[in-house]
Structure 1
């Protein structure tokens, strides 16, 4: 949802903005075949009941619907996303990073596809114009593993622990799916203050917020 709100904000700003996605795993220890659903995961992680977890997800589905997104947690398949991130890095090299990211998100949140499964990833990659044989070969190797780990290590250095996290010009940052209006106001403020092109996704806090120092 944060991604959609940022995209809506960019459409309202008359300024060149380039968005670049970075790799981040919420749970790197997640199994490829988890064997449990999102409600059980949330209940275990946050100490809530299954009914509470389901109610929270229903609220998220409603929020997504208001943005024109279709979230379906009942059919969502939890999985390790490391290979999906590798596929995005592969797509980036072929000029299809945004298309691949959008396709993976729709597959995961709406279509209930198993995005940890290599066969599924190959099919999704072909849909956005990537060569299925090259993708299959990449997935069966360790290619782009270092690129994913490098992004994750950089996130750790900056103290990033949650998503969405937006970074502008490696200087301003904000966490959470803020409203489109907040994104618009923040981006405009940064453009006026810095006079710079926004090179990475992001927004600033209401009064501006500096990126935490690297550890």
Structure 2
């Protein structure tokens, strides 16, 4: 079985969805036959590189709500993440253009490290308050998961895998995904959003049958 997951590394619900899928797979009898492929998606492709603001400030402006209300939104997501064993610090999280982070993930996939770098990027963005559009930060994250430093730098300094990222985004749109996380099972069943573990498990069983 092939599961394709469209997500963005600054998306707190995407990390929650990733963790819930993992929990569901732990309860699935045929987990060893499942291949998970990470696909790229940008929640805000217009975000300028290096123009990093606190996400709370961005949410306040985007939804036209007071900063306190935006903080409360973040706190609710943090509490839900904690139920999945994730320790968010969304008060420190920054907006970032994630295009290069997705390019790096595609490179990591060629070395069998897509899941590792995906996990590390989520941690950097949602737990550590890192700017995941900063080249030096991405270079360090690449070496954190044992990617060769010189090859990571070559990817980041050029435009390698840019077409792959754009292709993933076009494909998500073609499949009807307007947001993430979005999970597709064998191109037959889809789950939109970080649904409960039971929904993932039921879909795994249905796809297997």
The alpha carbon displacement at 1:35 in A equals 4.1
- Residue in structure 2 matched with residue 6 of structure 1 by the alignment: 21
TM-score, normalised with respect to structure 1: 0.86
Give the root-mean-square deviation of aligned CA atoms: 1.1
Write the distance in 1 (CA, Å) between the matches of 2:191 and 2:112.
27
TM-score, normalised with respect to structure 2: 0.88
Q: 1:125 aligns with which of 119, 142, 145?
A: 142
Count of residue correspondences: 192
- Residue in structure 1 matched with residue 200 of structure 2 by the alignment: 183
The alpha carbon displacement at 1:24 in A equals 0.3
- Residue in structure 2 matched with residue 155 of structure 1 by the alignment: 172
- Residue in structure 1 matched with residue 81 of structure 2 by the alignment: 64
- Structure with greater Cα Rg: 1
State the secondary structure of the residue aligned to 1:22. Answer: strand
Q: Which has the higher contact order (CA 8 A, sep 6+)?
A: 2
Unaligned runs of 5+ in 2: 1-15
Unaligned runs of 5+ in 1: 193-215
Moved more, 182-191 or 144-153: 182-191
Contact 2:186 2:207 in 1 (8 A): no
Q: Which has the higher strand share?
A: 2
State the secondary structure of the residue aligned to 1:73. Answer: coil
Q: 1:79 aligns with which of 86, 89, 96?
A: 96
State the secondary structure of the residue aligned to 1:39. Answer: helix
